[in-house]
């Protein structure tokens, strides 16, 4: 069994990226368990708050989910041609204390997907993630690419309705899982 943790970079109830992760779970196939995590409850990073109160419970809970997973699937929106602030903020918290970055992220397989209402999908957001992933020391899987554009036509009421995208998503998730399994 390959365990993948999917994290959506959106807090919105009707998020296309959260819906994309739900669809990924549906098409993952046999031998793949895809759990979906939320960023809800993670406060804005504040070094003074960290020094006074330590790591917030929501961050510790997400760290535990990451440790239990064989790989991470980040579903990133694209806001103003870049990484959504809420998603980067979560990574900033997860990288605290800095001495724990290697244990949490070092060599961990990570793949990027994303959905956007625009015509270019999340190409710029995914590109903006690359230096962050490099800094964390993850093993970025680039065996395939999934950039869902015009997501308003691809999803209906939170459900993936585009069969071509569904097939691409299945191939992506299964390819990522196969790569993770081959590393064992």
Q: Tens place of pLDDT for every residue, the chain, 184 residues?
A: 999 999 999 999 999 999 999 999 999 999 999 999 999 999 999 999 999 999 999 999 999 999 999 999 999 999 999 999 999 999 999 999 999 999 999 999 999 999 999 999 999 999 999 999 999 999 999 999 999 999 999 999 999 999 999 999 999 999 999 999 999 8
CA–CA dist 39, 86 (Å, integer)? 8
- DSSP letters, 61-125, are HHHHHHHH-SEEEEE---BTTB--HHHHHHHHHHT-SGGGHHHHHTT-EEEEEEE-SSTTTTHHH
Q: Specify burial of residue 142 (Cβ count, 10 A radius: 0-12, 13-18, 19+).
A: exposed
Task: Select from 3.90.1150.10, 3.40.50.300, 3.40.50.720, 3.40.50.360 the CATH code of 2-183.
Answer: 3.40.50.360
């Amino acid at each position: 069994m390959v365990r993948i943790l999917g994290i959506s970079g959106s807090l919105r109830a009707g998020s296309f990226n959260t819906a994309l992760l739900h669809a990924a779970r549906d098409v993952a196939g046999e031998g793949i368990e895809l759990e979906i995590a939320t960023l809800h409850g993670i406060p804005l990073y504040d070094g003074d708050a960290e020094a006074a109160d330590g790591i917030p419970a929501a961050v510790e809970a997400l760290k535990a989910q990451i440790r239990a997973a064989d790989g991470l699937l980040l579903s990133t929106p694209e806001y103003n041609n870049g990484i959504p602030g809420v998603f980067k903020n979560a990574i900033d918290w997860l990288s605290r204390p800095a001495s724990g970055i290697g244990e949490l992220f070092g060599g961990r397989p990570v793949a990027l997907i994303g959905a956007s209402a625009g015509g270019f999908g999340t190409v710029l957001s995914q590109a903006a993630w690359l230096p962050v992933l490099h800094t964390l020391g993850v093993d970025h899987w680039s065996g395939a690419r999934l950039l869902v554009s015009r997501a308003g036509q691809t999803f209906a009421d939170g459900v993936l309705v585009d069969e071509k995208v569904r097939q691409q998503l299945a191939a992506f998730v299964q390819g990522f899982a196969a790569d993770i399994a081959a590393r064992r």
